[in-house]
Amino acid sequence: MSETKRSFKRVVLKLSGEALREVGSQDNISPEIVERIALEIKEAHAAGVEIAIVVGGGNFWRGASASARGMDRATADYVGMMATVMNALAVQSAIEVEGVPCVVQSAIEMKNVAEPFIRRKANRHLSEGTIVIFAAGTGSPFFSTDTTAALRASEMGACAILKATMVDGVYNADPKLDPNATRYETISFKRCLSDELAVMDSTAFSLCQDNNIPIIIFDLNEHGNITNAIKGADIGTLVSNEA
């Protein structure tokens, strides 16, 4: 484990929907992957960090892709929001199996399966040690789950957004295409913008920059990295105003 250099009281963990699917599997959600994620979150939770989670829905549906094939964009995005709820419920169940209190708050009301998103209630849950999973995006079309993570982090006063991805940080070029690509340990929001580095979509990125919320990009595939990131280990790439 890397030496711990950061200290977080409250974080928002951003998981992609694709992260819940095993490569090559026909199943949209892998119980084994979800269980591993839950175990890592449990370990970090035991260290006293207040944890909120935003999960994408790309393992089921992508609104932008459906729109490109002729579907009304707003409708396509609402379908995508429903996909995030399915993923949120799966992650909630796995976390609760590990004995950790967890609630799902949905930006679209569906009282039989999730609480409605209420900022003050979510803040109280987190303060009391309950993990909160924010589902159904922002509740409005045309916004990504990256934007949801940035918005909820701003509303909850989170110390950082921890974005679990398929690469181990931010590079100056695509590491899959360029073997000489260099990974940044730290980089500023301004540099990401000037170099047009794909960290988050522009709306999410601007929210983080304006509200001074650092983003840590790290590799989800490395076992233990979720725990390490939440507990403050010096992994991945730190994107901030100060870098």
Q: Are 218 and 232 in contact (CB under 8 A)?
A: no
| Nearest C-alpha neighbor of 161 from the set 40, 23, 52 | 52
Question: SS3 for 85?
Answer: helix
Q: Are 22 and 171 in contact (CB under 8 A)?
A: no
- Torsion 86-90-95-96 (CA) sign: positive
Two structure tokens written together for 99: 């004995």
H helix runs in 128-223, sequence order: 145-156, 189-194, 202-210
Give the residue ranges of the annotated binding site: 14-17, 57-58, 62, 77, 138-145, 165, 171, 174
d(CA 177, CA 70) in angstroms, rounded, equals 31
Give the residue ranges of the annotated binding site for UMP: 57, 77, 138-145
Two structure tokens written together for 171: 């590079």
Question: What values do phi and psi take at 109, rounded to 5?
Answer: -65, 125
Give the residue ranges of the annotated binding site for ATP: 14-17, 58, 62, 165, 171, 174
Q: Are 42 and 95 in contact (CB under 8 A)?
A: yes
